[in-house]
Every structure is written in structure tokens, then in C-alpha cells.
Structure 1
Amino acid sequence: MSTDQNGYSYTLTRTLDAPASRVWQAWTTPDQYAQWAYAVPGSVEMDVRPGGIWKATVRTPEGAEFPLTGSYIEVAEPHRLTLGMDVPGRPDPATMTLELTEQGPRNTVITLRQTCDTAEERDGAEQGSGMLLDGLTGFLADEAKA
């Protein structure tokens, strides 16, 4: 956990058993994203270009649903994606950057970074991002076995 002058930030890193182009596709294709990101089927919309919007309704393991919205800030396929996430009560969107680094034909390191305004916001965002990475890892592993 680190704090800088901009607030509270976190970085999560995982190694995935898939090429960067496949990881990118899983993250930016609505029907694939819905399969691993705890999204309600049919709720995911993605216009993957700078300024394009995204929407998804996420369902927690307890069954609560949370609508999420935002926009794409930076799109550099298949290596870097920066998302703006709308946060109720916050004037500016929260930003999350996803970086994909290939370390072999089927070995991609994914790094998620986000800076938040409070420790509580950071802890919640970091937990949510960890769940996303768990879901993505499982989705790609199941696909590799098929």
C-alpha cells in the first residue's frame, strides 16, 4: 500500500496463460467480458476508442447489483487501456490503467493501476480489481483447456 501526493494508489499484477491479443479481446468484447467480470448478461456495452463509453452492471456473490459506467481515455491495442470510471459524488472520473506485457507466446503479464481519493475507496477498488483478475485468470485457463 502506497500513498503519494495524488492520493491512495494500488498496483496488481498477474501472469496469464494467453497472448496479449487474447487478453485484450477478453477485456474489450462485451459478451466475453460478461462471462468473467461478474456482469449481468446483456448489461455490458463497450465503445472501445478514446472518448467511447462503457457500461456494465456487476452482480456480487451475494446477489446485489451495481451499475457501472465510464469512458475510455487511452486505447493502445493490445498493450494499454486506460478507463475512466464514474463515481457517484465525485466530480472527475476515477481512472484505472491496464497494461499487458508479453513474455512469450502464451505468457502475458497484466498490471492494473488505480489512484483513489481515500484509503477506503482504494481498498474497495483493489478488492474489486482482484476479483476481476481472478475471473479473467479462470476464464482464460478454462478456454486453454477446451
Structure 2
Amino acid sequence: MTTTADTAASRTLTISHVLDAPASLVFRAWTDPAQLPSFWGPHGMTTPFVEMDLRPGGAFRTLMRAPDGAEYPTSGVFLEIAENRRLVFTDAYEAGFVPAAKPFFTAVITFEDQGSGKTLLTAEARHWRDEDRDAHENMGFHDGWGQSLERLANHLATLQNTK
């Protein structure tokens, strides 16, 4: 017998990365609209637009731009904010920021203190349907998010070196 938990786990994509920065700095980078463009998206992408209303029920919008000029607007709603520990938000890819009937996935981002100023960041993308999970994986979830986390590590190193 398949349980709801088993089914939900099979629709989740996960990636983790240990960052050489305290959780408070990593969390701030994720929640500061001025910092997000420094690392959000795969290598070569830019994020020229970020808007956040950082509170449960608050909305966010971002726009990633590929080197060829293709644009990828995303919007969502923050569901849970536990400072320096956890962010939960919906995420939808939408042309023109038109609200989606149902988000593409729900993101659960955790920030775990590893001691010695290091943080384990884990990003889960929880999808509603197997087809959505498969589409996200085929879009390059692990590669794209992995590159974004590499860019985040570089951004955090720059922040810490300028102090």
C-alpha cells in the first residue's frame, strides 16, 4: 500500500550544499532583494528584478534572464518564515506574472548550523504531481539549483571578505 507520505516524497527533488558562512548570513542573502540578484540562477543568468514582501502570505516576484535574452518570470507566496532556520514558499513560472491556478511546486529551504561558521542549506522542491516533478528534473533542477548554490557560496565569501 502506498501512503500519502510515500507519494509526497516521490514528488520531491532535493539538493544540499554546505556553505562557509553562518546561517544568519545565508538566510539574509536569501531574503534580501538587494542580494538575491548576486547569486540567483544558473551560471550566465542574471536576475534584474526581485520584489519581496517577506512575511507569511507575502508575495515575491523575480525575473531571471538568460544570456540569449530569454526571460523566466517567477512568483510565489511565502508560507512560513523561521528566521535563520527555514523558508517555505510557493513557486510558479508564469508569463507576465499572471497568477497561476496552482503553483508549480512548494519550496522548503532549511538552514542548519554545522558549527565553525558553516551552514547546511537544503532545498526541497515539493511538487503536486509526478509529471511536474519529472518536468522540473528534466528542466535541470539539480544542475540549475547546484549552480545557484555555487554562486551563493561565492557571494557569501565576497561578503565575508569585505568585512
Would you call these one fold, judging by a TM-score over 0.5? yes
Residue 121 (1) aligns with residue 136 (2): yes
Deviations 1:55-78 (A, max 9, x none): 110112443211111110111111
Alpha-carbon shift at residue 100 of structure 1 (Å): 0.3
What SS does the aligned partner of 1:115 have? strand
Contact 2:53–2:59 (CA under 8 A) maintained in structure 1: yes
- With structure 1 as the length reference, what TM-score do the two structures score? 0.85
Matched pairs, number: 142
- The within-5 A match list for 1:26-105 is 26-38=29-41, 39-41=46-48, 43-88=49-94, 91-93=101-103, 94-105=105-116
Which runs of at least 4 in structure 1 moved beyond 6 Å after TM superposition? none
Instruction: Give the Å deviation of 1:120.
Output: 2.2
CA distance in 2, matches of 1:76, 1:24: 10
Measure, in 2, the Cα distance between the counterparts of 1:72 and 1:114.
Answer: 14
CA radius of gyration, larger in: 2
SS, match of residue 145 in structure 2: helix
3-state SS in 2 of match to 1:132: helix
Provide the TM-score with structure 2 as the length reference.
0.77
Aligned to 1:24: 27
Q: 1:36, CA displacement in angstroms? A: 1.3
Aligned residues: CA RMSD? 2.0
Q: 1:34 to 1:87 in 2, by over 3 A?
A: closer
Whole-angstrom distance in 2 between the partners of 1:9 and 1:87 = 17
- Name the CA shift for 1:90/1:57 in 2 (closer, same or farther; >3 Å): closer
Q: Against the structure 1 CA distance between its residues 40 and 11, is the aligned structure 2 distance closer, same or farther, given a 3 Å change threshold?
A: closer
Percent identity of equivalent pairs:
33
Deviation per CA, 1:11-61, whole angstroms, max 9, x where unpaired?
1111101110100110000011111114433x1011111000001101124
